[in-house]
């Protein structure tokens, strides 16, 4: 079977599973174990590109299909992947049409060859007319669920289109230089020597002109550098870390912020995560960077199960959230999230704050972080917490930037709030 047909067949099966509720990350990890390295790049591109186009491909099928009855999920997913392949510009139109038909055979859907062929050719003939129709459909045009569009529009009336557009783009690649091993300027010279262009965007951050495989990054395996979004690198600087402090990273996986904290100051760090496999990721990250921390698997909202009663000087609560600020990195979020999830996340975030506040020392600071753009998970959670918690005070952020970073060319979407406990 030709490489594109093989990739389309594999991508269709994977995208169909994601559309039914599975995680893109876990599905790609499983596919990586089953497929040769040469085919992984095409598979990853087809899956990410297709899932970023939430609503668009479905609207095209709805406009062109004349089939009655329930659709075959895998055939539908194959069409979505083929539409992305056509729009990507990486392949000739006739190649995509031919290879999609061949993919039907590989998927044991031989009877669908004519249907797939007809829809793809129909799309190519009717593309100008379809584009006008798609532009009039908000879900197809902005490529996000309707409830998501409504929330973003209400929260950011002057910038909502930019927020949604960012969610459909390829994310930037930013590095965090390990200050315990080298300097930003020295590492930038090493990148330049390898032909990798970058610019400094933070105390330890270098933003690459274009993404590269981590294998190309000099000193990556040795722990000289990590990949971490510039917005995520904000946290360590906002915590006001000082030598000797006892610090908790309450929702630590995969460990990027824990590592940055440990790189920043000589502190005693406890990194907590509720998931054992993800706690193992934290350990691996720290080991690669030559850093130490006490990594535990526990639910941070139940301190009675893990806390020794010794208060923390600083707490990072990078809480579970909708991840609406990082949708371009995890496009399956658009498919998996529901409107009711936002309130559920906010309730969980409130429980975490209440639990962690008990473990914070007098005169201590708790940094609340989400990768969400929904105010219900951000300012609203902090406002209600401060209102019900005697002594809790929201402090100014040291970097002078707004609490809410919206996703843009240089960073993802993050919210940060620093809460101080009275002495």
Residues marked as catalytic? 371
User: Residue 283: how many CA atoms within 13 Å on its side-chain side?
Assistant: 11
Residue 143 neighbours by CB under 8 Å, 6+ apart: 52, 53, 54, 55, 56, 164, 167, 168, 334
Helix (H) or strand (E) segment spanning residue 141? helix 138-142
Q: How many CB atoms lie within 10 A of CB 367?
A: 24
Q: In whole angstroms, what is the distance from residue 63 CA to residue 421 CA?
A: 57
Distance CA 58, CA 76 (A): 8
Q: What is the DSSP letter of 104?
A: H
Among residues 191, 225, 193, 224, the alpha carbon closest in space to that of 210 is found at 191
Q: Which two tokens stand for residue 381?
A: 């959670």
Kindly state the tokens that stand for 334.
């658009």
What's the rounded Cα separation, in Å, for the pair 11 and 94?
A: 19
Rounded CA gap, 421 and 423, in Å? 7
Phi-psi region of 161 (alpha: psi -120 to 50; beta: other; left: phi over 0): alpha
* Pair 173, 210: CB distance under 8 Å: yes
């Amino acid at each position: 079977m030709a490489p594109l047909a093989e990739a389309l067949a594999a991508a269709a099966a994977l995208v169909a599973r994601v559309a039914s509720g599975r995680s893109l990350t876990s599905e790609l990890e499983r596919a990586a174990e089953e497929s040769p390295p040469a085919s992984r790049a095409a598979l990853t591109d087809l899956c990410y590109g297709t899932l970023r186009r939430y609503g668009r491909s479905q609207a095209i099928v709805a406009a062109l299909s004349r089939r009655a009855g329930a659709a075959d999920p895998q055939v539908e997913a194959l069409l979505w992947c083929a539409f992305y392949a056509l729009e990507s510009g990486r392949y000739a139109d006739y190649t995509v049409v031919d290879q999609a038909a061949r993919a039907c055979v590989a998927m044991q859907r031989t009877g669908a060859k004519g249907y797939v062929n007809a829809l793809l050719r129909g799309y190519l003939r009717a593309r100008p007319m379809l584009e006008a129709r798609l532009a009039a459909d908000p879900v197809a045009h902005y490529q996000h669920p309707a409830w998501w569009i409504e929330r973003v529009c209400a929260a950011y009336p002057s910038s909502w289109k930019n927020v949604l557009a960012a969610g459909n783009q390829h994310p930037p690649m930013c590095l965090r230089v390990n200050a315990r091993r080298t300097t930003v300027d020295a590492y930038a010279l090493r990148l330049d020597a390898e032909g990798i262009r970058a610019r400094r965007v933070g105390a330890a951050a270098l933003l690459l002109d274009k993404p590269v495989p981590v294998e190309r990054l000099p000193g990556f395996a040795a722990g000289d550098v990590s990949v971490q979004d510039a917005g995520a690198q904000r946290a360590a600087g906002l915590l006001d870390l000082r030598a000797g402090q006892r610090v908790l990273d309450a929702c630590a996986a995969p460990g990027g912020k824990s590592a940055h904290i440990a790189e920043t100051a000589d502190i005693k760090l406890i990194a907590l995560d509720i998931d054992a496999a993800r706690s193992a990721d934290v350990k691996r990250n720290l080991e690669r960077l030559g850093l130490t921390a006490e990594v535990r698997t526990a639910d941070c909202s139940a301190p009675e199960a893990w806390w020794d009663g010794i208060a923390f000087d600083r707490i990072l609560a990078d809480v579970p959230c909708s991840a609406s600020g990082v949708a371009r990195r995890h496009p399956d979020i658009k498919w998996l999230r529901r409107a009711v999830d936002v309130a559920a996340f906010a309730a969980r975030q409130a429980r975490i704050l209440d639990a962690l506040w008990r473990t914070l020392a007098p005169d201590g600071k708790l940094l609340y972080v989400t990768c969400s753009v929904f105010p219900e998970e951000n300012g609203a959670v902090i406002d209600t917490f401060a209102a019900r918690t005697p002594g809790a005070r929201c402090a100014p952020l040291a970097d002078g930037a707004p609490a809410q970073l919206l996703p843009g060319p240089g960073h993802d979407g993050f919210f940060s709030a620093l809460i101080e406990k009275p002495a």
